[in-house]
Structure 1
Amino acid sequence: MTTVLPVRRPGAASALSPAEDKRSTAGARAARARQIAGRTAPWLVRGVMGAAVLVFALLAVGPHVLGYRTMTMLTASMAPEIEPGDITVATPIDLTDVTEGMVITYHMPVDDGSLVTHRVVSVEHAPDGSVLVQTKGDANAEIDPWTARLQGDTAYEVRAVVPELGHLVTALRTPVLNQVLLYGAPVLLAGWLLMTIWRPARATTPAVDTDDETKEDQA
């Protein structure tokens, strides 16, 4: 049995597979990254602006237009229903509608009279039309050591809780972020408007008349 082996010509070199052009690959990746960034940036700016508008509407416009009140919870006395840093939204109700079990926001009748949000545990209607309430924080072991007199025509019952938003509001009140918002918000708005106005038009591929090409081939 005879085996035939291929013989390489003298001086012949082995064929090598073409090397990958790393520069072209890197350029393609960079172009792809720029394309993604170009598509993402407008939506990012819109998201930031939209969130800022919603927060502004909730905290600044809504209380004046719809009459509700917002307050940032500073303590854990109402945990886990209301955690520190959450924002409560309280709406006005008739004073005579205050009942046990409600979570209300009112001024403490002690110290500096600051606002507190606690649950009503007892209600008493006084002859002068005012309402006397005792309250307690859900996480507290004891009832609050005072009896609050609710006067006027309305009280404020907590209707909704916005988690964690109070941390953002507190951060926005710092001097550094105030300066950033003062100068950064107009820049973001201007950039968004410019991107909207100067957005490049998409290139369109001209239509091909297939009938003409068929006629030319047949001719």
Structure 2
Amino acid sequence: MIGVSLLILVILICIPLTLPRLTGFDIYTVVTGSMEPAIPVGSLIYVREEAPAELMEGEVVAYRSNTDAGIIITHRVVKNQVVSGQLITKGDANEAEDISPVSYAQVIGKVTLTIPVLGGIFAAMVTFYGKIVIVSVVLLAAILLYIGTDSRNIQEKE
């Protein structure tokens, strides 16, 4: 019973990471407080591609930094400048608008769902030690399932 419970737990933990990706969402973890309190540090965010020209003032978007392609920023749209193909953005916790406008080419999409805390958990899971823990839990579950099945077979033979 414990083995089955552990396997179900691992499957349930993996669903928020796998199922949305199959339906066209990108998933990111928020690592700074620029969007607090609306989106706390450690939140898991789901981003769906949307035409930048369609983004409205007040919507939260994810985009690639123009200084480093590896950094994803999540800020609120202050103004959509369709003619110039740029967004003016601002983090909720920041006093001023972002210094540089966001070109449409940088935009990944609109944030459609945020789940506080879950991003921090998933960020820990993808580290080397997190993967060791996950594999260990799956192996423990398999061993417990085997032991439980084997003990039932022994009892049936007696």
TM over 0.5: yes
Structure-1 separation of matches of 2:74 and 2:148 = 45
| 2:95 corresponds to which of 138, 141, 166 | 141
- TM-score, normalisation: structure 2: 0.81
| 2:42 corresponds to which of 53, 60, 85 | 85
| 1:118 corresponds to which of 54, 57, 75 | 75
| 2:57 corresponds to which of 75, 83, 100 | 100
SS at match of 1:117: strand
- The aligned counterpart of 1:185 is 138
Q: How large is the Cα RMSD of the aligned pairs? A: 2.6
Structure-2 separation of matches of 1:122 and 1:193 = 59
Amino acid at match of 1:126: V
Question: Closer, same or farther in 2 for the Cα pair 1:195/1:50, shift >3 Å?
Answer: same
SS at match of 2:49: strand
- TM-score, normalisation: structure 1: 0.61
| 1:170 corresponds to which of 114, 117, 123 | 123
Contact 1:109/1:147 (CA < 8 Å) preserved in 2?
no
| 1:58 corresponds to which of 16, 22, 25 | 16
- The aligned counterpart of 2:24 is 67
**Larger-gyration structure (1/2):** 1
Contact 1:106/1:156 (CA < 8 Å) preserved in 2?
yes
Segments of 5+ residues of structure 1 without an aligned counterpart are 1-41, 202-219
Structure number having the greater strand percentage: 2
Contact 2:4/2:141 (CA < 8 Å) preserved in 1?
no
Amino acid at match of 1:137: G
- The aligned counterpart of 1:195 is 148
Contact 1:107/1:114 (CA < 8 Å) preserved in 2?
yes
Contact 2:3/2:143 (CA < 8 Å) preserved in 1?
no
- Greater relative contact order structure (CA < 8 Å, 6+ sep): 2
Structure-1 separation of matches of 2:129 and 2:19 = 24
Alignment of 1:3-82 (within 5 A): 42=1, 44-63=2-21, 65-82=22-39
State the shift of 1:190 in Å: 3.8
Structure-2 separation of matches of 1:113 and 1:176 = 23
What per-residue deviation string (whole Å, max 9, x for no partner) do you get for residues 34-63 of structure 1? xxxxxxxx2x54443223213323213431
Amino acid at match of 1:95: P
Contact 2:44/2:120 (CA < 8 Å) preserved in 1?
no
Count of residue correspondences:
154
Segments of 5+ residues of structure 2 without an aligned counterpart are none
